[in-house]
Amino acid sequence: MKKKLNKKMIRNIIIVVIMLIIATLILIFSPNFKKDPNEGKINFIINNNNVTGKMKQELFIDENGVVYVSMDDIENYFDGQIYYDKENEQIITTSETKVAVISLKDKVMKVNGAEVKLLGTAIRKDGIFFIPISELGNVYNIEIENINNLVVTVDSLDRELIKADTTKKLSVKYNTKLISKTVDKLEAGEKVIVVSEKDGWTKVRTSNGKLGYIKTKDLTNKTYVRQAIEKEKQITGKINLVWDYYSEYVNAPDRMGTTIQGINVVAPSFFSLKNGDTFSINDNAKRGGEEYINWAKANDYKVWAMFSNNSMRETTSKILNNYEQREKMIEEIVSLAIQYDLDGINIDFENMNMEDKDVFSRFIIELAPRLREYGIVTSVDVTAPDGSENWSLCYDRDLIANEADYIVFMAYDQYGVSSTTPGTTAGADWVEANINKFLGQEAVKKEKLILGMPLYTRLWKTDINGKSTSTVVNMNQIEEKIPNANEVERKWDENTKQYYVEYDSEKYRYQMWLEESNSIKEKLNLINKYELAGGAFWEKDRETQDIWEIAQEVLNT
């Protein structure tokens, strides 16, 4: 009886063990054989990643073979700033060098101002916008393939592409596990796209658009069809820019026969808005501008012409908020940049409505690609991120920096014309604190940030009632503004990294925080400390000559 029980117990134990082994094998290998969640859907492969299950809306293909992707998915994968212009019923989408305007009414698209006929236009379906991505290959610089209405592949043309041939008949596996399901079968000599290689396995994409793994040893004739394209910078090393301001009522400065040591970019005030309800521009380059450009290029200086709104808040608002006027402004700037063979445009829009922050960003989003198509740099001047509505909160610094090539922090007028308390124009502690704001809360990339520095200061005058006013003093005028300069003590302020002077007259106390070689050097050192793109100076002819030598030395330009 005992023997029978023991045999029965042993048999049961063996059965349990076998069942546990089977269950374990099922747990281990069943994920490799589970049903494809994307089965029955048109699969969408972007740069060898199957994003079908992550899309907000399924793509669809119409009777003409046009592939449609929802605007939300376009925003997620191709253009984070795609925009619906409700007033004109059109979709505006941008890329590195293209701006496309797609009508919801007609099968027409404008790409960088040129009209293109479409097989299918943008449509609204159940309240959702769908974009004909198969018509946007040139816009997004992508190659699109529709494989039997089952798989749509998208490859960026600036990314590396490698192909190889199979050496024999192969099964493409779901993963590299010992046991894995087959996702596709290949014949000998069949071409595949090489996605990645690791531990003797190669991830491939087949001609059917299937992604999977085969043994690396089973591939031959590996060929680079396309090398990755690296974006080249116009200037290698640090940028050292000086603004060269002159009004629309005089000719451009005559710089012939002169050089500016260490400078590699000049930003003359060539263009500005005219006051009015519609766009019109002052073309200051007509007055001696061509001679100025010839001088700059003869000295290997890049010319990033400044385009200013002259702080005209209402005119700026009317133009920015009207798409047709905004487009006209962009077309004119691009045309002028080409006409004068400029290397860059420096946008200097100040004193704007806080409510116009988004439309100003749209202006930069739509302008930068148009200029970039011709190798022209876009830089945008902004103030410190503080609480002023019209002078600070009107900028989306993160977005501007992402879309433009550079963002320029105008690090001056810490205490400006509207201040009632005497203080420095640009203390190093304040400048550094705001650099950290740009790189931190504003999320601006360090390689995009140029630090603007003043070549002037302010002389403060306070009466016996404590009322303070100030006047601008250029760096090269400081000595003559201090009476009995040899007798006035200059105290070094370790916080502002500036010399401070004060003196009295019968009715007033005078105070000045000096901008000179030592204070400028301290600010230039911040550029290297935070690995910023470079520096900029406002403005030419206010400086002392030693400033250029110091800038060249610190920035190594």
| In the chain, domain spans | 43-155, 160-226, 239-455+516-555
pLDDT of residue 487: 84
Amino acid at 552: Q
Is the pLDDT reported for residue 195 higher than 60?
yes
Q: At residue 5, does pLDDT exceed 90?
A: no
pLDDT at 4: 56
pLDDT band at 3 (very low <50, low <70, confident <90, very high): low
- How far apart, in whole angstroms, are the C-alpha atoms of residue 180 and residue 320? 57
Spatial distance between the Cα atoms of 539 and 348, rounded to a whole number of angstroms: 14
- Three-class SS of 316-371: HHHHHCCHHHHHHHHHHHHHHHHHCCCCEEEEECCCCCHHHHHHHHHHHHHHHHHH
pLDDT (average), residues 42-71: 97
Alpha-carbon gap, residue 95 to 75, rounded angstroms: 11
> Would you say the CATH fold of 160-226 matches that of 43-155?
no
pLDDT at position 312 over 60? yes
Mean pLDDT value of segment 70-78: 98
Give CA–CA dist 245/104, Å, rounded. 44
Which among 206, 202, 284, 278 is positioned nearest to 245, based on CA atoms?
Answer: 284
> What is the torsion angle, in degrees rounded to the nearest 10, for the CA atoms of residue 308, residue 475, residue 383 and residue 387?
-130
Task: Look at 35-49, 361-375, 527-541 and tell me which has the smallest mean pLDDT.
Answer: 35-49
AA identity, residue 417? V
Percentage of the chain with pLDDT > 90?
Answer: 89
pLDDT of 19 reads: 65
Which residues make Cβ contacts (< 8 Å) with residue 269, sequence separation at least 6? 243, 244, 245, 246, 247, 284, 305, 306, 308
Residue 61 confidence (pLDDT) above 60: yes
Structure tokens at 12: 């049961």
CATH superfamily, domain 160-226, is SH3 Domains (2.30.30.40)
Q: What is the pLDDT of residue 14?
A: 73
Mean pLDDT of 156-175: 96
pLDDT of residue 32 exceeding 60: no
Q: Express each pLDDT in 255-287 by its tens digit.
A: 999 999 999 999 999 999 999 999 999 999 999
Kindly state the DSSP code that residue 516 receives in the 8-state scheme.
S
- Identify the H or E element spanning 302: strand 302-308
* DSSP 3-state percent helix, strand, coil across the chain (nearest 5): 30, 30, 40
- 429 token code pair: 């502690």
Class of domain 239-455+516-555: alpha beta
User: Residue 343 has which token pair?
Assistant: 């290397």
- Whether the pLDDT of residue 338 is over 60: the answer is yes
Beta strands in 168-209 (DSSP E): 170-173, 182-186, 191-198, 201-205
pLDDT higher than 90, residue 486? no
Domain 43-155 fold: Copper Amine Oxidase; Chain A, domain 1 (3.30.457)
Residue 47 pLDDT level (bands cut at 50, 70, 90): very high
Residue 217 scores a pLDDT above 80: yes
Question: What would you measure as the largest C-alpha separation in the chain, in angstroms?
Answer: 125
436 and 452 Cβ atoms separated by less than 8 Å: no
Written as six digits, the tokens of 513 are 């925080």
pTM across the whole model:
0.92
Q: Kindly tell me if the per-residue pLDDT of 444 is higher than 60.
A: yes
- Does pLDDT of 335 surpass 60? yes
| Cβ proximity of 152 and 45 under 8 Å | yes
Q: Kindly state the average pLDDT of the residues 171-178.
A: 91
Is residue 27 predicted with pLDDT exceeding 60? Answer: no
Q: Omega before 248 cis (within 30°)?
A: no
User: Is residue 22 scored above 80 in pLDDT?
Assistant: no
In this prediction, residues 145-157 reach a mean pLDDT of 97
3 state SS for 86-152: CCCCEEEEECCCCEEEEECCCCEEEECCEEEECCCCCEEECCEEEEEHHHCHHHHCEEEEEECCCEE
pLDDT tens-digit readout, 363-382? 999 999 999 999 999 999 99
Give the model's pLDDT for residue 281: 97
Q: What is the mean pLDDT of the chain?
A: 94
Q: CA–CA separation, 77 vs 136, rounded Å?
A: 13
Q: Does residue 126 come out as left (phi exceeding 0), alpha (psi in the -120 to 50 range) or beta?
A: left
d(CA 17, CA 11): 10
pLDDT of res. 387: 81
